[in-house]
Amino acid sequence: MSLAAENLGRDAGGRAILDGVSLVVTPGERLGIIGPNGSGKSTLLRLLAGIDRPSRGEVTLEGASMRRLTRRAIARRLAFVEQQAETAERLTVRDAVELGRTPHLDALRPFGPGDTAIVNAALARVDMSPLADRLWHTLSGGERQRAHIARALAQEPGVLLLDEPTNHLDIRHQIALLALIRRLPVTAVMALHDLNHASLYCDRVLLLRSGRVAALGPPAEVLTPATIRAVFGVEVAVHIDPEDGARSLLVKGHIPFEETQP
Amino acid sequence: MRPLVAVPAAALAILVALACGAAFGETAIPLSTVAKTAANHLFGAGFAVDPIDAGIVWNYRLARAVVAACCGVALALSGVVLQALLRNALADPYVLGISAGASTGAVAVAILGVGGGLVSLSAGAFAGALTAFGTVALLARAAGSGASAVILAGIAGSQLFNALTSFIVARSANAEQARGIMFWLLGNLSGARWPDVTLALPVAVAGTLLCLFQTRALDAFTFGAESAASLGVPVRATQAVLIGTTALMTAVMVSLVGSIGFVGLVIPHGARFLVGSRHGRLVPVSAVTGAVFLIACDIASRMIVPKQVVPIGVVTALIGAPAFALILIRARRMT
């Protein structure tokens, strides 16, 4: 049991934006969190990352309650790639990735050759070694996202959380990034917007609707036309590729908004 | 540069600056006399020195140069810390109104007698500095916490606290006090003596050590507070300690020499240009250049106009305001 949530909830403005979410992340799996805008994807990720505190329930990391772990202890086991974290500083890709060693260093244990090796390995893992000395503001969106993932890997986490990692990337970089995440030797939990991405690159998906779990399971079981119609309000058809059996969803149209208004 | 080279080089730079601070002025005193006087006082060397020269060097100029160096360190590091935590290239204790708040606090103690003589000028300045920072932070949050919101809130805060200071001075001070206060508010090292060093030096040294200890945490804020949290930094505690340190350093320096603007802007940006934005280098380099810069500005303030002392705040503003404009233009280009 690497990461788990028990009856998790969070209130904002006197309203529950997340409620009754329980899940156990299986070590090594790719878990996708999907749901319409405002369904609580980012909120759930931030609770799982220990950045926000839950109003109800608790998150456990390797069996220990998140409330009892220090930020530093959490950061050694779990890394979080936010949506679009930016900087105006003049720093290189290597500088940014070296930040990932922060939770492992202190006054008595300065940055050493071992850390350099870990940073190099993280850079290589995301194919950013040739760009290590480039300045941050000269990078493209996809390169920045890969650098952020390298920074997260340099933390040597067991669990990697990603908040819509493919946002603002073009389609080729989206697919390349998802393929990269699938190859990483970590447990990954990621919020995703595109249902086909979740279907193709996740072992299981958690479907959120108005802050509650609507379904949790393998993509083929969760992402059915009936569920998608109920949660997202769109009509889809399932297409199974005759060559490799890959399952994808074809959007046929949306339900008129009048019908879903209360 | 390895520490083995950098530490002696930094010490040498500060020593040379202090020696120049003691040698230059209305009457130039040879460096050899400065060295002999310092040796007499520090090691009891017993060199024969003209007693008037020795008095000027030791009692006036060296004490003044040491206070200037401490102020330079404190203000430069305050700038580094505020820029990192607020992720704003224009943040500095003067721009954010912290200096103005410290002035108000100091004036409240000096003229209104707040605290009934039990509260020192520095304590009043510290309370004022924290109040000003709190006000500006709340205002910035209400205004949307964007990069420009912080600066605009700082301007509003500066204006408010400067107005309060002027109000206190206009209402309660006699003409002589008012003139003294106004001159002091622009930054004035003329009154700096050794007793001031006993307050300025420990604060500057402690502040520097604390910032050096927090360089990794400061680096972690590069991509924002949330990113710092996910890198294992206890964000609230770190912000509280570092901003408290900044307010304390600024307050002590303002209570000693008035508010000297723009040092926290010019020095960190210059240092970034030299050694990059990683705080492991930025903090020590900013501290050293801050010390040297303010000693140099003090020398300039004594020598620009013959027979007169220009307030040091005027000198730093003459250099700092154009630098502020430059940073503003560059920041626009980056985004």
Give backbone dihedrals phi and psi of A108, rounded to 5 degrees, phi first: -90, -15
Provide the residue ranges of all domains of chain A, joining segments of one domain with +.
Answer: 3-223, 224-262
Partner-chain residue, chosen from B222, B223, B230, that has the shortest CB–CB distance to A51: B230
Is pLDDT of B335 > 50? no
User: A30 near A182, Cβ under 8 Å?
Assistant: yes
Counting beta carbons within 10 angstroms of the beta carbon of residue A83, is it exposed (0 to 12), middle (13 to 18) or buried (19 or more)?
middle
Distance from C-alpha of B124 to C-alpha of B107, rounded to nearest angstrom:
8
Distance from C-alpha of B32 to C-alpha of B45, rounded to nearest angstrom:
14
Give backbone dihedrals phi and psi of A32, rounded to 5 degrees, phi first: -95, 135
Helix (H) / strand (E) containing A204: strand A204-209
Inter-chain touch A100–B334, beta carbons under 8 Å: no
Distance from C-alpha of A102 to C-alpha of A110, rounded to nearest angstrom:
10
Q: Which residue has the tokens 């605290």?
A: B115
Distance from C-alpha of B123 to C-alpha of B114, rounded to nearest angstrom:
11
Q: Which DSSP category does B118 fall into?
A: S
* Pair of tokens at residue B5: 């080279």
Inter-chain touch A75–B231, beta carbons under 8 Å: yes
Q: Quick check: A103 contacting B, CB < 8 Å?
A: yes
* DSSP β-ladder status, A212-217 and A204-209: antiparallel
Report chain B residues whose CB lies below 8 A from the CB of A150.
none
Give backbone dihedrals phi and psi of B254, rounded to 5 degrees, phi first: -65, -40
For chain A, what percentages of helix, strand and coil (3-state, to nearest 5) are there? 40, 30, 30
Q: Quick check: A48 contacting B, CB < 8 Å?
A: no
Report chain B residues whose CB lies below 8 A from the CB of A72.
232-234
Closest CA of chain A from B14, distance in Å? 26
Report chain A residues whose CB lies below 8 A from the CB of B219.
99, 102
Instruction: Report pLDDT digits (tens) over B34-43.
Output: 999 999 998 8
Return the pLDDT at B330: 75
SS3 B136: helix
Counting beta carbons within 10 angstroms of the beta carbon of residue B144, is it exposed (0 to 12), middle (13 to 18) or buried (19 or more)?
exposed
CATH code assigned to A3-223: 3.40.50.300
Strand arrangement of the beta sheet that strand A78-81 belongs to: A78-81, A159-163, A187-191, A30-34, A204-209, A212-217
The dihedral of CA B188, B192, B195, B199: what is its sign? positive
Return the pLDDT at B334: 52
Q: Quick check: A96 contacting B, CB < 8 Å?
A: yes
Return the pLDDT at A113: 94
Q: What is the average pLDDT score of chain B? A: 89
Inter-chain touch A72–B276, beta carbons under 8 Å: no
Distance from C-alpha of B100 to C-alpha of B112, rounded to nearest angstrom:
17
| Residue-wise burial string across A151-185, b where 16 or more C-beta atoms lie within 10 A, e elsewhere | bbbbbbbbbbbbbbbbeebeeebbebbbebbeeee
- CA nearest to B88, candidates B228, B268, B212: B268
Report chain A residues whose CB lies below 8 A from the CB of B91.
none
SS3 A63: coil
Partner-chain residue, chosen from A76, A82, A85, that has the shortest CB–CB distance to B232: A76
What residue ranges of chain A have pLDDT lower than 50? none
Inter-chain touch B222–A99, beta carbons under 8 Å: yes
Return the pLDDT at A100: 96
Partner-chain residue, chosen from B219, B231, B277, that has the shortest CB–CB distance to A103: B231
Inter-chain touch B230–A49, beta carbons under 8 Å: yes
Q: Quick check: A219 contacting B, CB < 8 Å?
A: no
What ipTM goes with this model?
0.88
Inter-chain touch A103–B232, beta carbons under 8 Å: yes
Cα distances from B176 to residues A27, B21, B114, B179, B294, in angstroms, run: 76, 29, 20, 5, 28
Return the pLDDT at B2: 66
Inter-chain touch B220–A96, beta carbons under 8 Å: no
Closest CA of chain B from A189, distance in Å? 15
Q: Quick check: A90 contacting B, CB < 8 Å?
A: yes
For residue B333, give the chain A residue with the closest CA.
A88
Query: How many CB pairs (< 8 A) connect A and B?
Result: 77
Distance from C-alpha of B237 to C-alpha of B234, rounded to nearest angstrom:
6
Distance from C-alpha of B315 to C-alpha of A106, rounded to nearest angstrom:
40
Give backbone dihedrals phi and psi of B289, rounded to 5 degrees, phi first: -65, -35
SS3 A165: coil
Return the pLDDT at B333: 57
Inter-chain touch B277–A100, beta carbons under 8 Å: no
Q: Quick check: A95 contacting B, CB < 8 Å?
A: yes
Inter-chain touch A87–B222, beta carbons under 8 Å: yes
Report chain B residues whose CB lies below 8 A from the CB of A76.
232
Highest mean pLDDT among B120-129, B140-149, B175-184: B120-129
- The domains located in chain B, with CATH, are 3-334 (1.10.3470.10)
SS3 A25: strand
- CA nearest to A205, candidates A233, A215, A196, A1: A215
Distance from C-alpha of B93 to C-alpha of B79, rounded to nearest angstrom:
6
Counting beta carbons within 10 angstroms of the beta carbon of residue A205, is it exposed (0 to 12), middle (13 to 18) or buried (19 or more)?
buried
Quick check: pTM over 0.80?
yes
Report chain B residues whose CB lies below 8 A from the CB of A90.
272, 276-277
Rg (CA), chain B: 20
Return the pLDDT at B332: 62
User: B55 near B37, Cβ under 8 Å?
Assistant: no
Distance from C-alpha of A78 to C-alpha of A174, rounded to nearest angstrom:
23
